[in-house]
Amino acid sequence: MNGGGTAAAVTPLSHGIPKLQRMSDPSHEEAAATPEAAPPGAVLPRLLNRERAILQFNRRVLAQARRADVPLLERLRYVTIVSSNLDEFFEVRVADIVEATRQPGSGVTRRDLADVAEAAHELIDEQYALLNDAVVPALRREGIVVLNHAERNAAQRRWVRRFFETQVRPLLVPVSLDPSHPFPLVANKSLNFIARLGGRDAFGRENLIAIVKVPRALPRVMRLPDALCEGQQGFVLLTSVIRAHLGELFPGRQVEAFSQFRVTRDSELEIDEEDVTNLRQALRTGLTTRQFGQAIRLEVVSTCPPELHDFLLEQFALPEGALYKVKGPVNLARLNQLIELADADGLRFAPFEAAWPAASLPRGQSIFECLRAADVLLHHPFESFEPVVQFLREAVHDPDVLAIKQTIYRTGTQSVLMDLLIEAARRGKEVLAVVELKARFDEEANINWAERLEAVGAQVVYGIVGLKTHAKMMLVTRREGAPGPEAGAQVLRRYVHLSTGNYHPRTAGLYTDMGMLSADPGLTANADAVFLQLASQTRVKAASQLVTAPLLLHRRLLQHIAQVAGAARAGRRARIVVKINALTDEALIRSLIQAGAAGASIDLIVRGACMLPPGVPGQTENIRVRSVVGRYLEHSRIVYFCWGEGEADEVLYLSSADWMSRNMFRRVELAWPVRDKAMRQRIIDEGLVPYLHDERDAWLMDGTGRYRRASDAGVSAQQALMQRYAS
């Protein structure tokens, strides 16, 4: 199926359910009809800890590496994803906690920091145990082996030695420490070795400690020639190569003890936007020092002698709780190189070809012409992202298109969309790019794109001081109609693309998101007003369809939740379904709790951190929280409210915003109601119903914040959608 029709004949999980209200099971229906479950002013349950909620999400990701029904190399990939996630967790969240412990009156204590560290230690220990005891042995059984020095035969050792001598040793500069050779500046997340040396140096001195910094340019995983591996696929890690030849870096000395180590640093860019005249230049300067922020975590191998890791803790001014002794490489994220090098397609997910929405966008027909007939919904990655690219490409090459405006949050270092915007400016079209320079860890790429766009004459702005522009929208203005002397013979018509996800073609194949193409005059006028406000910072007329943060979105959501609560108290139908990535805003959480206590039936599909404890007797019994972790990263934001029986008593929004305070008050975000009945039902049947019925990839949260898998069998929402779009 091409995905362009209505939802009535689609998802097998919906069983032809015509209305969202029927998603509830009978017990939910009974709960929804119950009058006020808790008296006004009742004590609300204590909210869950945000950092522990983030670590719980990573436990769910790690659980994917245990699943026998997940291909083996993909299981390894989940292990590496957890490492990458934890890096950011320490760089941002733990760094914030460390800083807060130093601020009087913050309410954050060293005990809070210790609790987070304890939970992180437990998770990391589980991660390495799973890798060593399950994933690596399973790979070995499939003929994919990672060989340490003791396991390598003579021919393999000769190959490794040649590699070390020709590719590695010329780039290593060991530093023996003394007063004239102080401890070197160690970059964030870089690989390093520390060694304790015996004997004397060339000048007869006993400088005991040496540091070897390993350049990032060196690959972390190398595949041995097949001729040396007797039918297996053999791999060696860079850490093993250096370890095997570490003594050769110190001729005349003895390496008595050593360890790999890696330090994770605070990576938040601190820029006072009110006190800079050029944000781009200030960020460019900040990027040069980000690699050397305050140390937060130290990783060493489990065999590291205490005197060496204690010496490192002292150098980085870290407490003992910041030390992580691991049973393997100190950076598992770099093992993703093995996944790409291995020749084993059967151990990866089968390729999935996203569908082109041929029913709504026939190939060869102008997208503008199609949009004049009807709006188009795109559901990625089940449907191709290429229509979005084609929408912009057609605008660039159409001589009647006069202007293109686009927000840029994350798009990657290589982007066909950015290349097309540059081409549009070269062709003389008016191009406005709202580039978010503060998109975390994408700052440098976005600065580079901003400079390239400006170089060809595009107008580049960076949004509003103090706010990140996280909204995803693209607006095209086109001159239409036959030229003639009569007034109004030609008109300007606008076309818009709005999305829950980024303008990033690669991640559009890995994340679930929904986007909408439209020529609706009201919606496009609203989008144009948002662009005007981002560029000029002037007041604009209140939007009739687009709801923006920080101006209105939070208040609108609270109003809808209150409407549902009021309906529940009056004995009318009261239903809320929210699919988001995180739920941490306390006002929204408490409003949901009060609506549930009033009798509303509430389902929350929250991929990541959720601070609302569901199922607490007498308090949140009518609220259910589930998380879906599967092949694709769940990223779409869908919100449904119902406060009665009629069509006027319900609304469904797509949005770029998660329910976090930062999204509501420190970012420019968008939400828009889907008014077309068929499109709304399709979103319900594809974006909500399957996930509420998912049994294979879903996790159910209890009131303590712990999760259990819904089932080891049953239906997967993502797999069902893949099957439908592949048919």
CA distance 525 to 619: 43
Helices (H), 427-503: 443-455
- How much is the CA Rg of the chain, to the nearest whole Å? 28
The SS3 assignment for 625 reads strand
Please check whether residue 418 is in contact with residue 431, taking contact to mean a CB–CB distance below 8 angstroms: no
CB-based burial of residue 276 (10 Å sphere; 0-12 exposed, 13-18 middle, 19+ buried)? middle
CA distance 363 to 119: 52
Is 470 a known active-site residue? yes
Q: Which helix (H) or strand (E) holds 479?
A: strand 473-480
Tell me 335's DSSP state: G
Please check whether residue 309 is in contact with residue 209, taking contact to mean a CB–CB distance below 8 angstroms: no
> Residue 505 is encoded by which pair of tokens?
């073609």
Long-range contact pairs involving 104-111 (C-beta distance under 8 Å, separation at least 24): none
The neighbour count for residue 294, using CB atoms within 10 Å, is 14
List C-alpha distances in Å: 523 to 123, 366, 473, 528.
46, 20, 11, 9
Residue 399 preceded by cis peptide, ω within 30: no
Query: Per residue in 22-57, is it b (16+ CB within 10 Å) or e — as a string?
Result: ebbeeebeebbebeebbeeeeebbebbbbbbbbbbb
Query: Who contacts 524 (Cβ-Cβ below 8 Å, separation ≥6)?
Result: 475, 494, 495, 496, 518
Q: Which of 630, 623, 608 is nearest to 691 (CA)?
A: 630
Tell me 362's DSSP state: -
Tell me 543's DSSP state: P
Q: Which of 591, 553, 595, 604 is nearest to 574 (CA)?
A: 595
Please check whether residue 391 is in contact with residue 474, taking contact to mean a CB–CB distance below 8 angstroms: yes
Q: Which of 103, 99, 105, 118 is nearest to 49 (CA)?
A: 118
Q: Which of 201, 206, 214, 215 is nearest to 246 (CA)?
A: 214
Query: Who contacts 705 (Cβ-Cβ below 8 Å, separation ≥6)?
Result: 48, 49, 52, 53, 56, 613
CA distance 594 to 581: 22
Annotated catalytic residue: which of 470, 497, 504, 554? 470
Amino acid at 444: E
Please check whether residue 523 is in contact with residue 674, taking contact to mean a CB–CB distance below 8 angstroms: no
The CA-to-CA distance between both ends of the chain, in Å, stands at 5
Q: Which of 591, 587, 625, 588 is nearest to 608 (CA)?
A: 625
> Residue 603 is encoded by which pair of tokens?
């389902």
Long-range contact pairs involving 488-497 (C-beta distance under 8 Å, separation at least 24): 492/402, 493/372, 493/519, 494/519, 494/521, 494/524, 494/525, 494/527, 494/528, 495/367, 495/368, 495/371, 495/391, 495/395, 495/519, 495/524, 496/520, 496/523, 496/524, 496/527, 497/388, 497/391, 497/473
> Catalytic positions, please?
470
